[in-house]
Amino acid sequence: MRPLLVIAALTSIPQWLLGLLASGMVPNVDAAATPQAMAGPLLWAFGLSLIILAWLSVGFGAMVHSAAGAYLEDAPSDPVPAFRVAFSRAWRLVAGNMLAYLRAMVAALLILMLVSIPFAFGAAFLTGFGPLLPSLIALLMMGVTLWVFCAELGRALLVTPVVVLEERKTFDALRRSRRLTTGFVSRVAFLVFISLVVSMAVVLGALAVGELLLGNSILVNALSSVLLLPLYPAVACLVVVLYFDLRVRKEGLDLEILAGADPVTAA
């Protein structure tokens, strides 16, 4: 478990430093700000978000490699070889994860637009039943949108192990992840949902406690990063177990391993 925690720490530290850079260099945007004044902060925030996502993709790839070693050989890979493998596939990891998030957001926005159309036309009718019914319908719409986002992101959940362990290219990895998760969408969507809920709970809890007790944004960010450390290896282990479990169910990987095949390249 120690190599996984070391990789998680090496992944979190640059993310924390970039967060400090963002808070120090991006100016506050208020309601009176002009579009020209808002363009700079938005570009900074967007650029830093891309850098953070790219580094998280590489760090998570290293964690997946280490967790796969623990799964197959009862010993997690050390941080140096794990990061070496992840960096050798960095472009594919970054592109695959960014495309996965982009596709999930587009799918969620399309569903939100579709379910909002009848709600918009029937808003006047629904208000006749009081504020409770429109609120419940709006909550249901948000729930459906969130579930679509989790399901679509879940279909791409295995991109990282496919890229790291099978050395596939970006689009091939996305297609393979989709094939492996077909028939198990609810399971992967639930895994994504739980990960998001736990992450948000940790971050919001750290913000609330930090602002009350510490009153320092730097210390609050550091506290949230420390609390998230065990979550990254846990998610990596779950993804690796899910990857091999689906390969056993769909491709008979266990039989191929018994026959002497390489568990990584066997298909």
CA torsion 74-167-162-107 (nearest 10°) is 150
From the CB of residue 243, how many other CB atoms can be counted at a distance below 10 Å? 26
Residue 203 resides in a domain: no
User: What pLDDT does residue 91 have?
Assistant: 93
Give the number of C-alpha atoms closer than 13 A to the C-alpha of residue 147, restricted to the C-beta side. 9
Mind listing the pLDDT tens digit of every residue in the chain (267 residues)? 788 888 888 888 777 776 666 665 555 555 555 666 656 666 776 777 788 888 889 999 999 999 998 888 878 888 899 999 999 999 999 999 999 999 999 999 998 888 777 666 655 555 555 556 666 777 788 888 899 999 999 999 999 999 999 889 999 999 999 999 998 988 899 988 988 888 787 777 766 666 666 555 566 666 666 777 778 888 889 999 999 999 888 877 655 555 555 555 555
Residue 178 resides in a domain: yes
Expressed as residue numbers, the domain containing 156 is 96-182
Residue 103 resides in a domain: yes
Residue 29 resides in a domain: no
Residue 249 resides in a domain: no
Residue 55 resides in a domain: no
The 3-state DSSP class for residue 227 equals: helix
User: What pLDDT does residue 129 have?
Assistant: 57
Q: Give the separation between CA 242 and CA 51, rounded to whole angstroms.
A: 28
The total of structural domains in the chain comes to: 1
Place of tokens 């550091």: 222
pTM: 0.79
Residue 118 resides in a domain: yes
User: What pLDDT does residue 187 have?
Assistant: 87
Residue 153 resides in a domain: yes
Q: Give the separation between CA 166 and CA 154, rounded to whole angstroms.
A: 19
Q: Give the separation between CA 59 and CA 248, rounded to whole angstroms.
A: 26
Q: Which amino acid is at 259?
A: A
| Separate counts of helices (H) and strands (E) for the chain | 12, 0
Q: Which amino acid is at 167?
A: E
- CA geometry: angle 6, 10, 16, nearest 5 deg: 130
